[in-house]
Amino acid sequence: MSTLPPGAVPWVHDFGRWLATWLHRPLFRIRIHHRSRVPATGPVVLVANHSSFVEPQVLFGMVRRRAVFLVKAELSRGVAGHAFRWIGQIMVRRGAADRGPLMQAVSVLRAGGLVGIFPEGTRGTGDVAHAEQGAAWLVRMTGAVVLPVATRGTYRPPGTRRRFRPKLDVLVGEPFRLSVQRGRTGLVAATEDIRKHLADLVRELDEQRND
């Protein structure tokens, strides 16, 4: 079994990940904290907050292992869509029961891969006030470790001007095991557990940035 989904081209994936490590450095002062917490092997569900299109690319390069992210299907058209598939990203339709892509993610995890997901479901302030159930479902299906990752520095409130090379901080939390019970009740409880871990990590990063 492959840690990349069908249609991915391994060398294109590896090149894209290398490119992602440098792509935004001219625009941001990127600071990554506790990168060593990323498990080097084994199935991992990475959950991160989401404020802009920048975070997925920064995290893709940050993890230093092959990583498959769930990407909104609106990006699947044209050349960009082919590029996402070649580098091994999984396209998901938001607000729809899209089981096929989720089963691709399950296959990647069962092969020992890393799957990244933004549980808020869409871009916002990144405070993780709510979360969708996809991450908890993947953990229940595969027994993967959960890795929370907080990012700050990409969100620009409406009406404000962009600063020159603002600090972009990435804080990798401690990976943790999560037992997801059967049924909808189990998913709801596990989703709240994931949300709380991630929201707490975001607050921790905010405190570090304000020191």
160-200 pLDDT tens trace = 677 778 899 999 999 999 999 888 999 999 999 999 999 99
Please tell me whether the overall predicted TM-score, pTM, comes out greater than 0.85 for this model.
Answer: yes
Place of tokens 């998913």: 187
Q: What pLDDT score does 73 carry?
A: 64
pLDDT of residue 94: 65
> Which residue(s) pair with 67 in the sheet?
114
Q: In the sheet where 90-92 sits, what is the strand order?
A: 29-33, 167-172, 145-152, 44-48, 114-117, 67-72, 90-92
Interval 28-37: pLDDT, tens: 999 999 999 9
Give me the pLDDT at residue 43, please: 97
Q: What is the pLDDT of residues 68-102, one digit of tens each?
A: 999 876 655 666 677 888 998 998 876 555 678 88
β pairing state of 114-117 and 167-172? unpaired
Tokens representing 177?
């095991």
In 3D space, the residue among 103, 94, 76, 80 whose CA is nearest the CA of residue 5 turns out to be 103
**pLDDT for the residue numbered 121:** 76
How large a percentage of the chain has pLDDT more than 90?
59
Per-residue confidence (pLDDT) for residue 189, from 0 to 100: 94
Taking the C-alpha atoms of residue 72 and residue 92, their distance in angstroms, rounded to an integer, is 5
Residue of higher predicted confidence among 172 and 127: 172
| DSSP-assigned letters across all residues of the chain | --SS-TT--HHHHHHHHHHHHHTTTTT-EEEEE-GGGS-SSS-EEEEE--SSSHHHHHHHHHSSS-EEEEEEGGGGSHHHHHHHHHTT-EEE-TTS--HHHHHHHHHHHHTT-EEEE-TT-S-SSS------SHHHHHHHHH-PEEEEEEEES----TTPPPPSS-EEEEEE---B-----SHHHHHHHHHHHHHHHHHHHHHHHHHHHH-
Q: Strand 167-172 vs strand 145-152: parallel, antiparallel, or unpaired?
A: antiparallel
Residue at 184: amino acid letter? R
The tokens of 57 are what? Answer: 């690319």
Specify the pLDDT at position 163: 74
